[in-house]
């Protein structure tokens, strides 16, 4: 039942792990070491939701930035450019849920 991977990133390192993959949803874990970044990107046909589970991340959405501490949830509507950066000295972990998967409509 537990699908949470053991993620322990070094400074500047971004680690990922797939938690759930079905025909219409993807949930991934992202572990950001200090100074690590997930570059902004978009999913034109899917909604993306970040769940900050550990630490603090700077969430980037359509050119704006907001600091989100665990526990925190951030909605990215379809097509919104989004990413995350760790500006702290401690690792941060978030999950990202993507649905529907592109091409599953």
pLDDT in tens, 65-76: 999 999 999 999
State the Cα–Cα distance between residues 13 and 3, nearest whole angstrom. 21
Residue 33 has pLDDT above 80, yes or no: yes
Query: Left, alpha or beta for 53 (phi > 0: left; psi -120 to 50: alpha)?
Result: alpha
SS3 69: strand
Distances (CA, A) of 11 to 14, 15, 80, 92: 9, 11, 28, 11
Cis peptide before 71 (omega within 30 of 0): yes
pTM for the full predicted model: 0.90
Sorted by where each begins, the domain ranges of the chain are 14-99
CATH class entry, domain 14-99: mainly beta
pLDDT in tens, 62-102: 999 999 999 999 999 999 999 999 999 999 999 999 998 76
């Amino acid at each position: 039942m537990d699908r949470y991977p053991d993620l322990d990133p070094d400074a500047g390192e971004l680690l990922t792990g797939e938690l759930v993959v079905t025909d219409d949803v993807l949930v991934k874990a992202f572990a950001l070491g200090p100074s690590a970044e997930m570059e902004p990107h978009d999913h034109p046909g899917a909604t993306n939701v970040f769940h900050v589970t550990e630490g603090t991340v700077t969430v980037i959405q359509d050119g704006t930035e907001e600091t989100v501490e665990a526990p925190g949830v951030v909605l990215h509507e379809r097509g919104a450019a989004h990413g995350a950066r760790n500006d702290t000295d401690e690792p941060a972990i978030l999950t990202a849920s993507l649905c529907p998967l592109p091409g599953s409509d």
